[in-house]
Chains A and B, each alone.
Chain A
Amino acid sequence: MEIVYVYTKKRSDFGRPCNFSERAAEVAVDIAPDPGAAAAFVPRNPVDAHVQHASDMSEHEVNTERVEVETRGVNHTEGGWPKDINPHELEQTIRFRKKVEKDENYINTITHLGTLMEHCIKQNNAINIYEDYFGEEEMAEVEDEPPSAKTINVMRDPNITKRTATHLSWHPDGCKKLAVAYSSLEFQQNVKDMSFDSYIWDLENSNKPELVLKPSSPLVSLEYNPKDSHILAGGCYNGQIAYWDTRKGRLPVEVSTVEFSHRDPVYGAIWLQSKTGTECFSASTDGQVLWWDIRKLSEPTETLVLDISRKGLLENALGAISLEFEPTMPTKFMVGTEQGIIITCNRKAKTPPEKIAGTYSGHHGPVYALSRNPFYPKFFLTVGDWTARIWSEESKESSIMWTKYHLSYLTDGCWSTVRPAVFFTTKMDGTLDIWDFLFKQNDPSLSLKICDEPLFSLRLQDNGCVVGCGSKLGTVTLLEISSGLCTLQKNEKTLATAMFERETKREKILEARHREMRLKERARAEGRDEEPREEAEEESSAELLQRVRSDFLEAIEAELRRRAQAEAKRLRAKDSEEHSREEEEEEEEESKLPEFEGEEEEEEEEEEEEEGDATKEP
């Protein structure tokens, strides 16, 4: 329908001033709605239409077609033969060759080239010009360089509510990836929106985790399977054990059933050395140690209750907070408890109570870390309360060496994988200490403040140069330590062995002395009843004891003095002289000390025998 409105104006009226007047509205056209047409439409309520005055843009992705690369071999066939010669005809080719050989130019050239070639051949036979000349020589001693460490990477928890990085585990081959378990260890402080995820970080990209692991409950501990680098086992906050396969995605492949799991967070989970590579065991503060086969996580294969009275009662059990397992000693393992006691266990014992082989009264508080020296498995390091202690398996009553009492709690520790006398500890004030026990025992060789919040976990890479520490706010810092602390020094192994042996011996002597004293006390208490009869003998034995005791104390004092002198000498020597000379001195000292101790021991043995006789008499 065409609507037209015609407006006419005379030509003579153009240009005239406008004379506006008011006029009522007139309906020009009135188009009534057609109900029939309404049937073709559907009412739409609400109607939204966006209006924007902007140019329309569209996005398009283009990817070039992938170049298909194929490797092919080339078959060389002879070419270049002159036209008249057929390369397949042996006669013709031979004839051609003979002709060339007769050419004078050929003879001259070959003679000339021959001499040139011979020169090079002889050269090759005489000397290997690509020989590695200084490869076998040891690296120049960098002893003068003070130990240092530099941060190479920092990985932060991407979530808003930060959680503590409670456990770190390096990838078994190459250590290019780090698995970190995140959870909040504060008692009942779980915020509603706290994420349960734990991450696997790739060292190349510290901004975004490479893989996210989604457990049903936050992970407290996480370990890579040393045999299969795709499998990880994790212990959850609610006591369950779960295992992941990195090829299969972020959800656990299998989770243990709640009824048979632990009742408290699983603080330690370690893989065992087995043919199938699927066995692991876990420990928790509920007092149990459970063994699992990840193929069947519905129930544990074995359980052990950490009851040191050997009755297997869960009520008496001590809560485990750290676990230690050394693949070279597959039947033994150690558990550090919340009560400060370290329990060594034998897996292959006949009855469950016998599994607990021995205990060491360790610390005043929970034993947060427990690890054996990779070079000398008889000695192990424990970290708890305000000290770190080194123990020998033989001396059960006390540790053989310990650090001083610090101002803040120690949270984690581990041995260096490269140097036998170096270990690392982390503290609640955010510092990482590196101790070199051969060099200095009073203070750490290097103490670094990593962050302001407490550090909770520590893990050293297998090469011994890179260490990762996790803090309370989920920040994982990777540090590279200077080569002085991660290269094996010349006589270090022997010196470390000597030091450990010396300390063990000292402890044994002290233990023996304590035992004797206790025996004396008991004997004296019994002997008092039969006093009149044995007075005479007692006196002589008492005098003997006095003499023995004073001799012994003198000997100890002399030893201590001598050791202090040796230390002072060592430190002085280190400042001024060359390392090699100073080492020689050390060796002399070392050789002197054991001799003296040997003498001492002999004296002791004689005196002990005398004492033994004295006690037998009454």
Chain B
Amino acid sequence: MAEVEETLKRIHAHKGVVGTIVVNAEGIPIRTTLDNSTTVQYAGLLHQLTMKARSTVRDIDPQNDLTFLRIRSKKHEIMVAPDKEYLLIVIQNPCE
């Protein structure tokens, strides 16, 4: 339990990180550093996107699987680390 706290705190402390969200397989945000409405929005949308991305990767090559998803936008970068049951989402402002 403490490890998880520590890990998430460490992640959030990195330069440029705006927010961290942990979502479970049903789309319920378990842990978040952002406000509720934003969290819910991110959780819902990214969950679906990750599912789609994963199925795409597996369609192309059934042996393959999605390990990481990065979405770079003008304002920031959204990084999604998927797992069977949970989803770790981090929003970062890449420093340039």
Contact = CB atoms under 8 A, between A and B. Distances in A.
- A associates with B: yes
A110 interface: yes
Interface string B10-31: 1100111100001010111011
B28 A117 contact: no
B40 A117 contact: no
30 contacts: A76-B40, A77-B40, A79-B27, A80-B27, A81-B28, A96-B28, A97-B30, A97-B31, A101-B1, A101-B4, A101-B31, A105-B85, A107-B1, A107-B3, A109-B83, A110-B86, A113-B81, A113-B83, A114-B7, A114-B11, A116-B81, A117-B81, A118-B14, A120-B68, A120-B70, A121-B11, A124-B95, A125-B14, A125-B15, A128-B95
Contacts of A107: 1, 3-4
B11 to A, nearest CB: 6
Interface string A76-118: 1111110000000000000011001110011101111111111
A131 interface: yes
Looking at A76, A102, A112, the one whose CB has the most chain B CB atoms below 10 A away is: A76
A371 B29 CA distance: 69
A122 interface: yes
Nearest to A104: B1
Contacts, number: 95
A116 B4 CA distance: 14
A41 interface: no
A107 B86 CA distance: 11
Contact of A106 (B27, B86, B90): B86
A105 B94 CA distance: 31
A79 B30 CA distance: 13
Contact of A114 (B10, B15, B70, B94): B10
A109 B85 contact: yes
B10 to A, nearest CB: 7
B79 interface: yes
A113 B88 contact: yes
A14 interface: no
Interface string B40-55: 1100110000000000
Contact of A109 (B45, B86, B90): B86
Nearest to A106: B86
B14 A78 contact: no
A112 B40 contact: no
A215 B17 CA distance: 65
B37 to A, nearest CB: 8
Nearest to B82: A113
